[in-house]
Amino acid sequence: MGVLFCFLGATVWFFADITNGHVYSHIAIPYWNAFVRLCFFLIVSNLLIMLKTSLVHESELSRTDSLTGLLNMRAFCDLAYAEINRTRRFNRPFTIAYMDVDNFKMVNDQFGHETGNILLRVIAGILKENIRSIDLTARLGGDEFVLLLGETGGKSAHVVFSKLQEQIINALERNRWPVTLSIGAVTYNKPPDTVDEMLKKADSLMYSAKNSGKNKIIYELVD
């Protein structure tokens, strides 16, 4: 569209030049002026496109975890707050899960931090492949992930998290990484007041899963 408007602007200016009654010393001057203007318009248009692309890229970087490509904490909280408001308005449930890799430090100690990073990217890839467009998934830092399922009640959420845990554990076992996954999940029929409140609740359930033997899903329903 930018290129099209550049040509359109140069063309309009060209016809204005040749119809305004001005006499040029050479017949080619109006054409040269039109060409120069077109080049100028194209340069400006290209600079604006580059600026917009750069701004979009910077915006994405500020909201994306650089290691996994998932949302970061800031972006997740913004979108989760919008989900709380939407849920309150339409009276629909949603489910949030806090996930932590059990014994992640062992992987870093035994295989190195690069292997640990690969492990986190594998988990992030499985999460991205198995969520809907309305769902949110983020890496909150370290080996902790969060997943928010919009318009998802208890039974459906349990199926989703069980499937995710199975797929992630299978991937970890194939790579012979000595780790598992603990999950704390909460379904809200009535949304909480803040994002921080629901994160703390899911985080608490996740630690209960770790303290009760790890590699478990502990689930709670909040009406």
Rounded to a whole number, what is the distance in angstroms from the first to the last CA of the chain? 51
Return the structure tokens found at 29.
């001057």
Q: Which residues does the chain have with pLDDT short of 70?
A: 2-7, 10, 12-18, 20-33, 51, 53-62
Task: Give the per-residue pLDDT at 42.
Answer: 76
> Where are the domains positioned within the chain?
2-62, 73-222
Return the structure tokens found at 100.
């932590």
Task: Give the per-residue pLDDT at 71.
Answer: 93
Q: Which CATH architecture has domain 73-222?
A: 2-Layer Sandwich (3.30)
DSSP state of 23: P
